[in-house]
Structure 1
Amino acid sequence: MPYRQSVRLPVVYLPTLPSIIRFLLLIFLFILSPSLALAQVLRGRVVDAERPETPLVGAAIRGQGAVTDSAGYFAVQLGQPVSYIQVSHLGYRTQRVPITTETPTTLTVALEATTIQVLDEVTVSSKYYRQYATNTISSALRLRTPLINLSQNIQTITPEQIFDQGSFNMTDNVSRNISGVIRQEVSNNLGPYLFMRGGQIAALRNGVDLAPIYRGPQPEDASIIDRVEFVKGPSLFMNNIGDPAGSFNVVTKQPTGAPRRTLTAMFGSFDFYRLAADFDGQLDKKGKLLYRLNAMGMGMSTNSFVKFDYNRRFLIAPVLRYHVSGRTYVSAEYTYQQFRYGLSSPIVDSPGVDSPGVDSPGVDSPGVDSPGGFGSLPVDFAIAEPSLNPYHVSDHTGFLTFSHQFNSNWQLTIRGAFMRNDNEGAYMWVTGVNTAAPTILLRNPKYDLNRTDVFSQQAFVNGSVVTGTIRHQVLAGTDLNQKRFRADSYVQYDTYVDAGGKTQLKYYPLDVNNPVYGAEIPNYHIPGGLINRGFSSWVISIFRSWSFT
């Protein structure tokens, strides 16, 4: 006879088993029966007590890890003995529902609304959103006061923020993270021209003024940026340079002594390839000689959405720091950047932006007039030609720093820095308005050869003294800057002599409605370079600063 078991537990019908086995099995089923009774799925629905037809979406079944769905239903697997479930919802009174053997497997829970409800501590976290706030400032700003206690408005951008946004240098929308800051520059390779509070803000690197007389400095690459600090308004604690609108300070990566090997790759549209490496560690067993090495290369095929625009970059930045003692160190830092890019402008002005004339619009901006008005040309429209050689830029910067801490309250810092920037190249320029045929742009190549030299030295001591119950922060320092600029710019080298013996520009027409490219543009180089040529200017400035708070 086949074995049968009744569905009503714990009553069991075993007609043919011996009595002793039947007795032991009966005891086992009695012990097991509570677990079997609870090993079930409890289903239900949570509704509003005053409006039972209204489901409560997202009601929590505490202790069970379940919430109601869009119709107010829930399902709880009761895998262990429980005496009740607790149902809660924001704005409603929490209710306990007893669970017994008589509880139906499907129930309805009606919650009563309440006007007062105290929330427990809530922590919201996500893998997609990160917190970038920082409570400290770098030592390059010469202050020891915590950021929250400063009366100065200072905002900081962290390297994590730059990386997560996909930016790769200071001109790549880094300023969008700071309120009230705008950038004005046609080419991303000429430097971050940042404006705030009605003026251009000074560009600092590691607290040193490296802003040249003319354009620049070259935008710092993200691979060497440790943080960017924006100081809004006049900052007496820095060096009293630049416009009182403020300044921004780029702090480069320094040795930490912790072993680190990081390799970062970025890929994007228009054949964008970029590879960066970061190495950090110690060069001796005692941990006195530390190093940091950053390198970056941007692909040979990196192009743009604009025709004939491209960008090739290379950077290497070694840093050495030697700790003479626990309170004294000397560090040396060098950064070399090399650019190759097509200097062209995608900016196209509508008629009337520039006054008509021979110099419109080429003198004040590289924009060109579009006869059809703003937005009438394709986004990839360009006035450049592929036959032009790339624009060459070589940028060298170096720092030498000595720091000594006398005690826990006083510290002396002496720092020297230099920058040399050379750039050379030719580009197409719309040098006049074609009144006879407005849709035909009259292009002519121009040539630039610029060299910038900046030498900066600074020494400052900062510390604190206590008088009674008041602690005073003291800062005293001196800054010395020497800046030189030599250039031979806007050279109109592609000319011819007309029948009347007058030198005329050679134009390369371009129809904006049907652009045809492929003209052979002659390249140019000044024989002998900048020796005894062009404009040269020296600026020497000395700043002495005292601050007592």
Structure 2
Amino acid sequence: MKNFYTILLLLFGISVSMAQTGGIAGKVTDQRNKPLPNVNIALIKTSLGSTTDSNGDFQIQNIAPGKYAVTFSMIGYDSKTISVTVSANTTTTLKAIALSEKQEQLSEVVVKGHQNKYALKAPSQSLRLKTEIAKLPQNIQVISSDLLQDQQVTSIMDGVIRNVSGVTMLEHWGNFARVNMRGFRLPAFRNGFNVQDSWGPLSEDMAFVDRIEFVKGPAGFMMSAGEPGGFYNVVTKQPTAKTIRQVSLMARSFDNYRGTLDLGGKATKDGKLLYRFNAMYQTSDTHRGDEDAERYGFAPALTYRISQKTSVTAELNVQQAESYIGSAYVFAPVDDGYGSLDRDFKFTDTNYPVSDIQEVTFFGTFKHDFNKNWSWETKFGYLRYDQVGNSIWLWSLEDNGDAVRYISNWDALSMGRYFQSYISGSFNTGSINHKILGGFDYSQKEYWADFGQYAIIDIDEPFNIYDPVYGNTVEPSFNKSPEVQYRDNVYNYGSINRSVYLQDEIGFFNDKARLTLAGRYTHLFMNGREATDSKITPRIGLSVDILPTLSVYGLYDQSFIGQSGVSFDGEAFDPVDANDIEGGIKKSFFEGRLKTSLGAYQITKQNVLVTDPENPNFSIQLGEIQSKGIEFDLQGEITPQLNLILNYANTNVEITEDSDRDNIGQRLSGHAKHVTNGWLNYKFSEFSKLKGFGASLGYQYQVDRSTWAWAADNESFLPDYFRLDGALSWSNEKLRVQLNVNNILDEYLYSGSDYGSYLYWQSEPGINGRVTVTYNF
């Protein structure tokens, strides 16, 4: 760390002696003097540019002194170009720029532009970063709301992961998703807060989601609080000045019906109070049948602009969900092999009880802009996840198919409290510019679960998987009082994370080279260990523009996180220490509309948890593992009508240190060595006879796929996975009708694991469809 700070001071000293730069700022309006958000501003013959915010304001900094031509453009408006002279150490404020509406069919042009936004330029505010994604020294992929709409995604478990290289979903219990990347489980973030629990949170419903950001590798700017593989950040729909009035109705296979409502806009004429209200309701069954479940929720949000520089946002999300926890699993003898039972086979009885889940989240944000360069943001969050339910599993299984099943109680309560306060800003020292980010983070989590109560339900006679008879079991009765956190012998996990962070992104050569130097001090308290741990983790990154559309980057980052759970002997686990070394190339085409990235990484992780081969329901801690891989991502538009997602990842995770030397060099479970996905969307142009129609086709392909947990022989593999999906749509400025068909080839698709004495897996449905009608009023 001494060398780290020496480098920082040296670079800061060098920067003082360099020449100075200037900036441009201003406001863009329409002809009625109303602010225009999302206007593109570009300095001709440079790579510099910006977009206007919700108030129509913009600023561009770190411009070398001189004369420039600046263009202002937006779909549906005539472009405008003006000349600007930039002086050193001065921000030139332009008079209001008014753009005129185009006279041709504006509404159709707007719809066309909406469909082409697969590649987003900047990360969300919840990631704290002010630099556009292409110039960051890290691989960050964003799934936009337009892409979610084209794929008709309803939850995080509904194929979202296909849009990012190397991301897989190993399994789910019905209420939450286990998402893996680079060989490790990804923690779930919401609006920048890490809300992951041992068996949670509730799977995210897309009715409330604006975008999903996949951050690869450790991320010191987000508390270093995720697995070293990275994390995914769900960004919810926020209040907006744009008027939104949208209702959507969906009908799917297996008696699934769903409705959503999205409202937003100005609550007052002066625009000081903005609002957003989202709601959803659905009833659903599965391809197995007799699993009727209900889910509904609502999410109001308000933003109050105290002044032009200060705003407050409050957001509430309440969801009620039913889930048949564990019902997706099927068990069979090892000799029978995976998929030996019918895809629709049902292991649970027809009277298997549903679990009730309620999740409440609240987020509050206070933001203040001191000036055009410096801002302060304070955020706090609260999550309460309350579950009353049951889970089913196998007690024993004979070769003739006689199975004895048991149901365990699964009442759970999760509570999380979160706080963040940070300052970001920029300044120049000579020709070198600095983007500063510093702040304090706090999180307090506690999780209780009562799964100690259980009852065998096949007492009089076993349940034979080859000749199943349903309706003979009796629902067990468990003691569900007092509330779960006050019961004896419950599983209890809790942690407190306090940390401070400081980062300087230093721009050289008119911001064509950017060096990131940062450090975080983290102090952890884990109630399972009744002890504290602390560590300083550095972060060093470099991104260089070789061409205006081509950059290369390198990164060294560390993570330090606590681990939940205990071993079979009741011992708590030590925190995870991990580091990530990676580098890559980012290239854009067609004036930035198509973005690509190619990278390679090596993650070294100590104190990793793996399944205990002698006690499969528990974990053990290994010495060290390494994950190495190559990743490629492409997203954006090739032509104004053709959008494309394409990705590939090669992942290899091996044990590098262990007390049992025979384990060294062995592959770790829980990943596919080769993963590639694609999604192609074509929408006919406004000049075509098929104007308004669109078609999509996508695939998911996984090769050399391992199970999520090893059996005792450490040789457990799954067959390759290939799924083909497609969609047809028609839309105008008010109405959209879409048909999606998944698993077009009707493949028997599943994930699962080998437990040594038996196999288990969970299947996906065969060919299935959904029809959605969306109306904007």
Segments of 5+ residues of structure 2 without an aligned counterpart are 1-110, 506-777
Q: Which residue of 2 aligns with 1:547?
A: 503
Letter of the 1:277 counterpart: L
Q: Which residue of 1 aligns with 2:239?
A: 255
C-alpha change, 1:493 and 1:346, in structure 2 (3 Å) is: closer
Tell me, in whole angstroms, the C-alpha distance in 1 between the residues paired with 2:435 and 2:173.
42
Tell me, in whole angstroms, the C-alpha distance in 1 between the residues paired with 2:431 and 2:147.
40
Matched, 1:463 2:442: no
C-alpha change, 1:281 and 1:274, in structure 2 (3 Å) is: same
Tell me, in whole angstroms, the C-alpha distance in 2 between the residues paired with 1:535 and 1:346.
24
Residue by residue over 1:224-257, the C-alpha shift from the partner in whole angstroms, topping out at 9 and shown as x without a partner, is 1111111111212221112221111111000112
Q: Structure 2 residue aligned with 1:207, among 185, 192, 196?
A: 192
CA contact (8 A) 2:117 2:144 kept: no
CA contact (8 A) 1:309 1:343 kept: no
Matched, 1:243 2:227: yes
How far apart are 1:264 and its partner, in Å?
0.7
Segments of 5+ residues of structure 1 without an aligned counterpart are 1-124, 353-370, 496-504
CA contact (8 A) 2:280 2:296 kept: yes
Aligned pairs for 1:148-163 within 5 A = 148-163=134-149
Letter of the 2:168 counterpart: I
C-alpha change, 1:295 and 1:492, in structure 2 (3 Å) is: same
Tell me, in whole angstroms, the C-alpha distance in 1 between the residues paired with 2:309 and 2:128.
17
Matched, 1:328 2:316: no
Tell me, in whole angstroms, the C-alpha distance in 2 between the residues paired with 1:129 and 1:242.
33
Q: Which residue of 2 aligns with 1:100?
A: none
Q: Structure 2 residue aligned with 1:417, among 381, 389, 393?
A: 381
Tell me, in whole angstroms, the C-alpha distance in 2 between the residues paired with 1:257 and 1:128.
17
Q: Which residue of 2 aligns with 1:164?
A: 150
Matched, 1:516 2:469: yes
Aligned pairs for 1:345-360 within 5 A = 345-348=327-330, 351-352=333-334
Q: Structure 1 residue aligned with 2:298, among 298, 308, 316?
A: 316
Cα RMSD between the aligned structures?
2.2
Matched, 1:476 2:438: yes
C-alpha change, 1:127 and 1:375, in structure 2 (3 Å) is: farther
Q: Structure 2 residue aligned with 1:195, among 177, 180, 191?
A: 180
Tell me, in whole angstroms, the C-alpha distance in 1 between the residues paired with 2:276 and 2:233.
20
How far apart are 1:275 and its partner, in Å?
0.2
Tell me, in whole angstroms, the C-alpha distance in 1 between the residues paired with 2:303 and 2:113.
36
How far apart are 1:128 and its partner, in Å?
13
Aligned residues: 392
Tell me, in whole angstroms, the C-alpha distance in 2 between the residues paired with 1:217 and 1:527.
23
Q: Which residue of 2 aligns with 1:216?
A: 200
Residue by residue over 1:61-104, the C-alpha shift from the partner in whole angstroms, topping out at 9 and shown as x without a partner, is xxxxxxxxxxxxxxxxxxxxxxxxxxxxxxxxxxxxxxxxxxxx
Q: Which residue of 1 aligns with 2:410?
A: 448
How far apart are 1:219 and its partner, in Å?
1.6
How far apart are 1:321 and its partner, in Å?
1.0
Q: Which residue of 1 aligns with 2:454?
A: 492
Aligned pairs for 1:12-27 within 5 A = none
Tell me, in whole angstroms, the C-alpha distance in 2 between the residues paired with 1:160 and 1:508.
53
CA contact (8 A) 2:403 2:462 kept: yes
Tell me, in whole angstroms, the C-alpha distance in 2 between the residues paired with 1:237 and 1:428.
40
CA contact (8 A) 1:344 1:382 kept: no
Residue by residue over 1:171-200, the C-alpha shift from the partner in whole angstroms, topping out at 9 and shown as x without a partner, is 2111111001111223242x2322212322
How far apart are 1:282 and its partner, in Å?
2.1
Tell me, in whole angstroms, the C-alpha distance in 1 between the residues paired with 2:435 and 2:159.
35
Tell me, in whole angstroms, the C-alpha distance in 2 between the residues paired with 1:236 and 1:444.
44
Tell me, in whole angstroms, the C-alpha distance in 1 between the residues paired with 2:459 and 2:377.
56
How far apart are 1:445 and its partner, in Å?
2.1
Q: Which residue of 2 aligns with 1:538?
A: 494
Letter of the 2:487 counterpart: N
How far apart are 1:145 and its partner, in Å?
0.8
Tell me, in whole angstroms, the C-alpha distance in 1 between the residues paired with 2:150 and 2:377.
34
More displaced stretch, 528-537 vs 171-180:
528-537
Tell me, in whole angstroms, the C-alpha distance in 2 between the residues paired with 1:147 and 1:374.
42
Tell me, in whole angstroms, the C-alpha distance in 2 between the residues paired with 1:242 and 1:450.
23
Tell me, in whole angstroms, the C-alpha distance in 1 between the residues paired with 2:299 and 2:207.
9
Tell me, in whole angstroms, the C-alpha distance in 1 between the residues paired with 2:365 and 2:252.
38
How far apart are 1:309 and its partner, in Å?
2.8
C-alpha change, 1:126 and 1:205, in structure 2 (3 Å) is: closer
More displaced stretch, 198-207 vs 409-418:
198-207
Q: Structure 2 residue aligned with 1:341, among 323, 331, 335?
A: 323
C-alpha change, 1:146 and 1:416, in structure 2 (3 Å) is: same
SS in 2 for 1:479: strand
Identity of aligned residues (%): 33
Q: Which residue of 2 aligns with 1:233?
A: 217
Matched, 1:282 2:266: yes
Residue by residue over 1:447-467, the C-alpha shift from the partner in whole angstroms, topping out at 9 and shown as x without a partner, is 111101111101111111111
C-alpha change, 1:479 and 1:506, in structure 2 (3 Å) is: farther
SS in 2 for 1:184: strand
C-alpha change, 1:507 and 1:232, in structure 2 (3 Å) is: farther
Tell me, in whole angstroms, the C-alpha distance in 2 between the residues paired with 1:186 and 1:202.
14
CA contact (8 A) 1:344 1:383 kept: no
CA contact (8 A) 1:170 1:192 kept: yes
More displaced stretch, 203-212 vs 339-348:
339-348
Q: Structure 2 residue aligned with 1:136, among 117, 122, 128?
A: 122
SS in 2 for 1:132: coil
Q: Which has the larger radius of gyration?
A: 1
Tell me, in whole angstroms, the C-alpha distance in 1 between the residues paired with 2:292 and 2:324.
6
Q: Structure 2 residue aligned with 1:270, among 245, 254, 261?
A: 254
More strand by share: 2
How far apart are 1:149 and its partner, in Å?
1.1
Could you state the TM-score of these two structures normalised by the residue count of structure 1? 0.68
SS in 2 for 1:237: helix
Q: Which residue of 2 aligns with 1:68?
A: none
Q: Which residue of 1 aligns with 2:400?
A: 438
How far apart are 1:532 and its partner, in Å?
3.3
Tell me, in whole angstroms, the C-alpha distance in 2 between the residues paired with 1:452 and 1:204.
15
Letter of the 2:167 counterpart: V
CA contact (8 A) 1:254 1:292 kept: yes
Aligned pairs for 1:393-404 within 5 A = 393-404=357-368
Tell me, in whole angstroms, the C-alpha distance in 2 between the residues paired with 1:374 and 1:494.
25
CA contact (8 A) 2:404 2:456 kept: no
CA contact (8 A) 1:442 1:507 kept: no
Q: Which residue of 2 aligns with 1:367?
A: none
Tell me, in whole angstroms, the C-alpha distance in 2 between the residues paired with 1:297 and 1:490.
33
Tell me, in whole angstroms, the C-alpha distance in 1 between the residues paired with 2:421 and 2:306.
19
CA contact (8 A) 2:358 2:387 kept: yes
Could you state the TM-score of these two structures normalised by the residue count of structure 2? 0.49
Letter of the 2:238 counterpart: Q
Q: Structure 2 residue aligned with 1:306, among 283, 288, 291?
A: 288
How far apart are 1:349 and its partner, in Å?
5.0
Residue by residue over 1:341-388, the C-alpha shift from the partner in whole angstroms, topping out at 9 and shown as x without a partner, is 322444435534xxxxxxxxxxxxxxxxxx633222111111111223
SS in 2 for 1:185: strand
Letter of the 1:195 counterpart: N
Residue by residue over 1:139-168, the C-alpha shift from the partner in whole angstroms, topping out at 9 and shown as x without a partner, is 111111112111111100011111211210
SS in 1 for 2:448: strand
Tell me, in whole angstroms, the C-alpha distance in 2 between the residues paired with 1:450 and 1:329.
36
